[in-house]
Structure formats: C-alpha cells, structure tokens
Amino acid sequence: MTLISPDERFMPYDPHSRSALLFWMAESLNISPSLEKDARDKYHAVGNWLGAPGSSLETYDLHIFAQGSFALGTVVRPCTEGGEFDIDLVQIANLLPVALTSEAYRLLVGARLREHGTYSKILKENDRCWTLKYAGNFHLDVVPARPNQQKNPPLLSVQITNRKTQGWSESNPQGFEAWFKLQNAKVLQWLQERVAKSFSLSIDDVPEHKVRTPLQQTIQLLKRHRDLYFQNHQESCPASILLTTLAAQCHIGHQDLAECLEHILNTMNKGIHQFNDVWYVRNPSMPQENLARKWNENPAHKTRYDQWHAQAQKDFLSSYRDLQEYATSLKAALGDSVVQKSLQQYGRTASQSRAQQISHASLLTGLAVTPSAASILLKPHTFYGKK
C-alpha cells in the first residue's frame, strides 16, 4: 500500500523532503504528552512523599529531579510492544548527616517508600536505585544521592548510593544536562521564537521541554537504530550517554534535521580518542570519567560499535530514487510501525502544505505545525502530585 500521495510518491530525493520524513520518524519515538505529564506528576509526588512532614527524611532538605533522556528531551519509545519507558530520578539530601553511611541512607529511602500504600506494592530494590514499576507504560528509578563531598568536585556533581559496594559513587547528571543544554541552546531559542511567532505568543509561553531540536531528534533516531541493531548483542550496546556525548559535542547548530543527522554521523567519531591503546571518550561533566571504558575491557564492544556506526551511515545517508524507497529501506533500522506512522503523517502534512501554498520543509522544520499539535505543545503544565 502506498501511504504517500501519488504526487509525493516520486518526489525527488532531496534533503528537505528527507528532513520532513525524518521529523515524523523522530516524533513517533517521543513519549506522548499525556504520558509525559503523568510521569512528571508521579515523580513530583514521590519527592513530596519522601520529604513530607513526619517523614524520617524530613530534615534532610530533599530535592528530586529527572536525569538522563527524560531531562534531555531524547526519550525513545520502547522497541517492543508493551515495553516501558525508563525514567531516572535523583533524590538529593542536601543536609544529610556526614556520619550517615551510603547504605544506611539507601535503606532509609527504601523504608520510606515502603510506608506508602501504593509504592510498597510496586517497589523493587536494585543496586543503585529503588524502582517504582507503574502498570503499563513506565517505571521510575529513584537514585538516593548527596552533594559531592570530595575535594574540588565537578560543579553540580553528587555522590550516589551503591548497594554492591556499600559506598558512595560520583555522578553528575545535572552537570551533564547543563552541558547538553548549552550545546542545544542556539537552535532551541530559534525554534522557540518560530513557534511563538507562528501562534502569536511570547517566547516565555513556549516551554523548553515541549520543543524538540534537530539535535534532540537526531539522538532519538540514533538511539532507536542502536536499540534494534544491538537486540542480540546487549552486552555490546553503547550507552545512551556515550551516543549523546559524541553527537552533542560535534553539533554546530544545524536547523535542518537531515543536515544535522548527516553532519553528526560523519563527525561524531572525532570525539573518540586512543592513547597507548586505550580508548577514551571524556564525560564533559566529569572529565575523570571515561565513557569508553567498556571498549577497553572487551575490544569486541568497540568493533561492534564501529559496525553499528557504519550501518547507521548506510541506512540514513544512502541515496534512493524517491522518498518511499528511502522510507522502506529504514523499516529494518527503525521498525515497521515507526516508518508506517511517519509516512502517514508525512502524507497529511504534505497535503496541508500544498493547501496553504507553503513548502513542506517550512511547515515541518523542527516544530509542531498543526493547531492541534500546537495546543498540545503549548498546553499549560502543572506539577501537582499524583499517586
């Protein structure tokens, strides 16, 4: 079945039409606005419960925040039907007594979660976190932490609990988020201005977490490609922080998604270095951390990364006769359902662009375009808690 209209079916294979189709592919990987709101409400409720009056943690000045892909705007829908979104949270105790050990604090957080009638039924203990497994769509990983008490620690860094070592491990999710936002800032502001202008709004009415830049969408596409490529080699799968670092550090501000994807695929490996036969990718928020350490433990992991990267270049950057052929070629790389939904959305917006007598690229480049999408994008957000 042809999902692109006949006149779009044989559209010349050019970067603008490719960007439009890639936009919808990335969009199909997003967490839905309703599920995103539900997750935000639930994690704020968890934070409120942990530090509520009468809690054993009340005096510790607790602060909870999202980390990882949820905070960066690079969440990717699970590959499998019924798969869950993994949302990582950090729970910082700013006034934790120095004498309280990592293991004691970790157990205090777990005990407090077990006091809640709902949380106690869905709670699971892991080495570095407490997992709240909500029915159906997502789970929250709560990582207990304190401010970093090492000498001259990286800005914003923390120390997290670890059941396996029963000590403190350094981490810097807020520092990484700040670095990523800096890499993303120029294009993000441009997109916010475009959305605001299109709908006669102030730029302050366009929240950052409702906009996806070409950098964020590129990372989403690469992560989905990685997830499917490494399905049978999970032990070699490159971590999301590694891919995000390599992509973001070579980003130069492309406003077009196809150009951004091509540039990143062709330059991201410049962030990989080798010294005395040791592979090294520096964590920009913790320079002492080597994100490529797994490659040094087992050279096969680096070989499989190189093979994945070559396949991603082939899948995304090869030339085809037309857009339908390009889309069909990506079914194995991104998943049949992602491609089918994207073709349908592409066809609808292509028709809309003709009706409005504007270019498809202008309609789609990096932002939600229909009034219904805009109403979702700009819907006021509340942070009251839900159990």
Q: Is residue 385 part of a domain?
A: no
Q: What is the DSSP string of 178-208?
A: HHHHHHHHHHHHHHHHHHHHHTT--GGGS-G
User: What global pTM score does this model have?
Assistant: 0.88
pLDDT digits 0-9 by tens, 361-383:
455 543 443 333 444 444 443 33
- C-alpha span between 387 and 385 (Å, rounded): 7
- In the chain, helix, strand, coil percent, each to 5? 55, 15, 30
Q: Which two tokens stand for residue 315?
A: 């899948």
Pick the last residue of a domain from 171, 194, 224.
171
Q: What pLDDT is attached to residue 218?
A: 98
pLDDT grade for 3, boundaries at 50, 70 and 90 = very low
pLDDT digits 0-9 by tens, 84-125:
899 999 999 999 998 899 999 999 999 999 999 999 999 999
Q: For 319, list phi and psi in degrees, rounded to 5.
A: -90, 145
Same domain, 117 and 195: no
Given a cut of 90, whether residue 245 has pLDDT beyond it is yes
Pick the last residue of a domain from 150, 171, 192.
171
Same domain, 163 and 233: no
Could you give the percent of the chain with pLDDT greater than 90?
68
Q: Is residue 238 part of a domain?
A: yes
Q: For 284, list phi and psi in degrees, rounded to 5.
A: -65, -20
Q: How far is CA 187 from the centre of its chain?
A: 17
Q: What pLDDT is attached to residue 53?
A: 95
Range of the domain at 117: 33-171
Q: What is the DSSP string of 57-100?
A: TGGG-EEEEEETHHHHT-----SSTT--EEEEEEEEETT--TTS
Q: For 146, list phi and psi in degrees, rounded to 5.
A: -140, 165
Q: What pLDDT is attached to residue 352?
A: 66
Same domain, 15 and 99: no
pLDDT digits 0-9 by tens, 142-165:
999 999 998 889 999 999 999 999
Pick the last residue of a domain from 136, 171, 206.
171
Q: Is residue 119 part of a domain?
A: yes
DSSP 8-state assignment for residue 387: -
Largest Cα separation within the chain, whole Å, is 71
Q: Is residue 384 part of a domain?
A: no
Higher-pLDDT residue of 288 and 349 is 288
Given a cut of 90, whether residue 186 has pLDDT beyond it is no
Mean pLDDT of all residues in 19-23: 92
Higher-pLDDT residue of 173 and 196 is 173
Q: What pLDDT is attached to residue 365?
A: 42
End-to-end C-alpha distance for the chain, whole angstroms: 44
Same domain, 166 and 296: no
Domain with residue 59: its CATH number is: 3.30.460.10
Mean pLDDT is lowest, of 271-275, 335-339, 354-358, for: 354-358
Same domain, 145 and 186: no
Q: Is residue 314 part of a domain?
A: yes
